[in-house]
């Protein structure tokens, strides 16, 4: 890496490398690069910033799309079904009436504990499926690139 610097003793502009002083600006004029490396990197940075703005717009679009995406999880062979949206919000819980009728004679405490376990299992299953859907959507959005922090920007999926 090379930088331009002011030589206090010589009173001229010159090149400074990692190892120290390299030379004065008259030697810079003979350099065939003439600043293209520095300005090329600035163009690359501007392009990258433009891509990041575009990525932000795509991320917002993805959030809207995920909010409308519904995923169903279940437990107890379908006795309990839970529907979540792509924002990890539970939208609906369904209990199979035949399961409730079957449990009706077992005792209130046993029924309650079993139903609670089935609901928890169905919620966890729905959330797991939803995370998988979100990861697929992010992969599609980024073209397979792993962009650190993108999942946090989308809500911590």
Domains plus CATH for the chain?
Answer: 2-47 (no CATH), 66-153 (3.30.1310.10)
Q: Enumerate the β-bridge partners of residue 93.
A: 82
Across residues 22-49, what is the average pLDDT?
56
Decide if pLDDT at 6 tops 60: no
To 5 degrees, how large is the angle CA 119–CA 125–CA 128? 140
pTM: 0.60
153 contacts 142 by C-beta, under 8 angstroms: no
Across residues 69-97, what is the average pLDDT?
94
CA distances to 28, 74, 85 from 94, in Å: 75, 9, 15
Calculated CA dihedral for residues 95, 101, 107, 108, nearest 10 degrees? 40
54 contacts 46 by C-beta, under 8 angstroms: no
- The per-residue pLDDT for 7 is 54
Q: What is the pLDDT of residues 88-140, one digit of tens each?
A: 999 999 999 888 777 766 666 667 888 899 999 999 999 999 999 988 888 88
Decide if pLDDT at 69 tops 80: yes
Higher pLDDT among residues 157 and 145, named by residue: 145
Please give the helix or strand (H or E) that residue 24 lies within, else none. strand 20-24
Cβ neighbourhood burial of 23 (10 Å; 0-12, 13-18, 19+)? middle
Q: How confident is the prediction for the chain on average, in pLDDT?
A: 76
Decide if pLDDT at 30 tops 50: no
- The per-residue pLDDT for 150 is 65
CA distances to 5, 28, 37, 51, 101 from 43, in Å: 22, 22, 10, 12, 69
């Amino acid at each position: 890496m090379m930088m331009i610097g002011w030589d206090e003793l010589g009173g001229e502009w010159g090149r400074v490398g990692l190892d120290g002083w390299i030379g004065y600006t008259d030697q810079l004029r003979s350099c065939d690069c003439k600043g293209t490396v520095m300005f090329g990197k600035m163009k690359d940075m501007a392009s990258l910033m433009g891509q990041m703005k575009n990525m932000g717009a795509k991320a917002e679009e993805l959030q809207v799309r995920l909010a409308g995406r519904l995923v169903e999880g279940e437990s107890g062979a379908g006795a309990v079904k839970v529907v979540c949206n792509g924002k990890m919000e539970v939208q609906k819980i369904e209990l199979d009436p035949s399961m409730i009728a079957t449990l009706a004679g077992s005792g209130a405490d046993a029924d309650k504990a079993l139903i609670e376990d089935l609901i928890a299992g169905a919620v966890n299953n729905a959330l797991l499926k939803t995370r998988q859907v979100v990861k697929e959507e992010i992969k599609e959005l980024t073209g397979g690139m792993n962009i650190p922090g993108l999942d946090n920007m989308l809500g911590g999926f």
